């Protein structure tokens, strides 16, 4: 994982090598997204009002700003779009699971 987040990228010599590096990063992202989805689902169960109804835009803004400090090339506007998609996907999964549990 460390080499994945090291900003001093080694020189990439070919398209195949570049795509292999992207595949490795995307595999790590997928694992992190799966973990995030699981934990965000637990958060929905802990909140007095979970799911889309309990959406907290202030917390989402904090998440984006913290990420923007670590990803300056993307910046807050693009990260907000990315994280909106990630957060909404997590809420959808949580709501689907809740519906399956409630039998509704």
Ligand X SMILES: O=C(O)C(=O)C[C@]1(C(=O)O)C=C[C@@H](O)C=C1
d(CA 90, CA 61): 16
**Are the beta carbons of 68 and 76 closer than 8 angstroms?**
yes
Q: How far is the CB of 26 from ligand X (least distance, A)?
A: 20
Sequence length of the chain is: 104
Given candidates 60, 67, 95, 98, which one binds ligand X under the rule CB under 6 A? 60
Nearest to ligand X of 22, 42 (CB atom)? 42
Restricted to residues 11-40, the positions that interact with ligand X (CB under 6 A) are 40
Ordered alpha helix ranges (H), the chain: 2-5, 15-46, 57-70, 75-102
Question: Is 96 near ligand X (CB under 6 A)?
Answer: no
By the criterion CB under 6 A, which residues form the site for ligand X? 40, 43-44, 47, 55-56, 59-60, 63, 87, 90-91
């Amino acid at each position: 994982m460390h080499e994945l987040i090291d900003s001093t990228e080694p020189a990439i010599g070919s398209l195949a090598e570049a795509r292999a590096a992207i595949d490795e990063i995307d595999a790590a992202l997928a694992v992190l997204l799966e973990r995030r989805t699981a934990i965000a689902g637990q958060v929905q169960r802990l909140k007095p009002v979970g799911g889309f109804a309990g959406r907290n835009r202030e917390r989402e803004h904090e998440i984006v700003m913290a990420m923007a400090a670590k990803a300056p090339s993307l910046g807050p506007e693009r990260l907000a779009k990315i994280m909106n998609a990630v957060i909404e996907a997590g809420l959808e999964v949580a709501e689907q699971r809740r519906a399956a549990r409630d039998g509704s």
